[in-house]
Structure 1
Amino acid sequence: MSEEQAIRAVIHLYVDGMAFANEPALKKAFHRQAAIVGNFQGAVEWLSRDEFIASIMAEAPAAPGTQPLMEIEMIEITGDTASVRVIDEFAGMRFSDYLSLLKADGRWTIVNKLYHLHA
């Protein structure tokens, strides 16, 4: 598997984990010390991985068999770091996510998620 394919697999884990409230997938996609940051409901939201996952679990998951929106617009890889821009939807809201990934111990994980919520 190429580095780009491995990164795409992590992005799939992330988007599917959000859409279907799959906590193990989200824990695998995100580093345990990841930060999730963006403006939400008029205030800066700054969450830990576990706070983010808890917020996902509090929402109703997508129906089984549905295909969640995932448009990977950009992947840039420099050695053991990568940046990804992906458009996705969660709970009826559309986001542009800017994800920073790090390859450690042979696998890619999301270490930071900066998001924009589209109006």
Structure 2
Amino acid sequence: MNSPTYVQEYNAIVEVLKQYNEGGKQAKSNIMKPAFSEQATIFGVDGDSKLTGGPIQGLFDTIDSVFKPSPDAKAAVTRIDIAGTAASARIDTNDLSGFCFTDFFNLLKVEGKWTIVSKIYHTHV
């Protein structure tokens, strides 16, 4: 019997997060879109300390219309926690279209595949 190990699950999650990172670097939502559930959400706090966000399509629209390719952007997956079919992850990104972010993701393993179901973020000033 060959059952998945923590390392295999961890590596599978890293691959999903790489899709997100690469889409941001290239400013192309079609690269990151497969990493997300169609029902995923995104939320953050704007400059007036108000909650902003909603359906993940808002992220895709922003990536395609506001962001510019950032080949020098650096991202680090700083944490992944896994419990069965649920996981959370943190990514810190510098110089992504001139911004620095800390992103927190919630993922679920649905039909054998890890998918991002929610993202919250902090934009560093």
Asked if Structure 1 and Structure 2 have the same fold, meaning a TM-score greater than 0.5 normalized by the shorter chain, the answer is yes
Partner of 1:14: 20
List structure 1 runs of 4+ shifted beyond 6 angstroms. none
Q: State the TM-score, normalizing by the size of structure 2.
A: 0.85
TM-score, length basis structure 1: 0.89
Query: Max radius of gyration: which structure?
Result: 2
Pick the aligned partner of 2:92 from 64, 87, 95.
87
Task: Label 1:20 to 1:98 Cα distance change in 2 as closer, same or farther (>3 A).
Answer: same
1:57 paired with 2:64, answer: yes
2:103 is aligned to: 97
- Count, aligned residues: 117
Counterpart position of 2:117: 111
Gaps of 5+ in 2: 1-6
Cα-to-partner distance string for 1:13-37 (whole Å, 9 max, x where unaligned): 0011122122222220111111100
CA RMSD of aligned residues (A): 1.6
**1:39 aligned to 2:45?**
yes
